[in-house]
Amino acid sequence: MNRIDQIFQTLGKQGGKALMPFITAGDGGVELLGKIIPALERGGASICEVGIPFSDPIADGPVIQASMTRALDSGTRVEQVFEQIAAVRDQTELGLVAMVSYSIVYRIGLDTFVKQAAQAGFDGFIFPDLPLEESQPARDAAAKAGLILSMLIAPTTPIQRAQQIAAASTGFAYVVSRRGITGESSALPPELPDRIAKLRDVTDAPMAVGFGISSPDQVRDVVAVADAAIVGSALVRRMHEHPEDPAAQAQAMTQELSAGLPSLTRGA
């Protein structure tokens, strides 16, 4: 069984939920991946989204966009990310999902990219700019390699199409909580629970909610209706503001956010 599936299955049996931090590979130096990923696990994360830096933002707000720029300016390349993931894979049980523009995958070659990612130790992918109608080859390649492929569902997507995207996702469906770009916010949309309920009508895949989540209270609100809370901008910002030890900050913030998870999750 894929590690992502196993994580959600285990949490489901325990009545737990997942915290899924996002980090930008190469921000602060690509070698930091080997320190940050185990730190996130110690802090209470179950799955980590590893953003592979790209020059053109895809729904990224200013915090993550700046982190991508810093990573590219430092010379971060895809092969370096794979090397760092391979080096840390045996040190963590975290599910590792690569979030990467499909243009990068296309340039490398779909089969080659998937094979290299699997060999490095990734458990799956999010291709945020890959539309449903063009996703079948990528879904097939991921499935053949035993990896998951989660697809994004925007709040503006008509519910019938949103259900199609959810049904096509494996591992989990990524539910974007609000319109616009990534970044911290003060409240979650009131219509989110109803939207997730409608998506559950068409798929057994877990629901992971991202965009705008930055506090334990927001994590608590999200996992009351979904299976996972995704936190990106707030974590990326905090690590950048503490360059003396970003891994320690990653662990500390993950511990703070995990206070919003059910007690069974925190005790696992």
Active site members: 49, 60
State mean pLDDT over 36-49: 97
Does residue 264 surpass a pLDDT of 70? no
The mean predicted confidence, pLDDT, of the chain is 90
Domain ranges of the chain: 17-151+214-256
Nearest Cα to Cα of residue 98 among 117, 83, 84, 116: 117
How much of the chain exceeds pLDDT 90, in percent? 74
Amino acid at 80: Q
Q: Where are the alpha helices (DSSP H) in the chain?
A: 3-14, 33-43, 62-73, 78-88, 102-108, 110-120, 136-144, 159-168, 192-200, 216-223, 233-241, 246-257, 263-266
Residues 47-94: tens digit of each pLDDT: 999 999 998 766 567 888 899 999 999 999 999 999 999 999 999 999
| CA distance linking residue 81 with residue 31, whole number of Å | 9
pLDDT at 187: 58
Q: Note whether 25 and 51 are within 8 A (CB).
A: yes
Does domain 17-151+214-256 fall into CATH 3.20.20.70?
A: yes
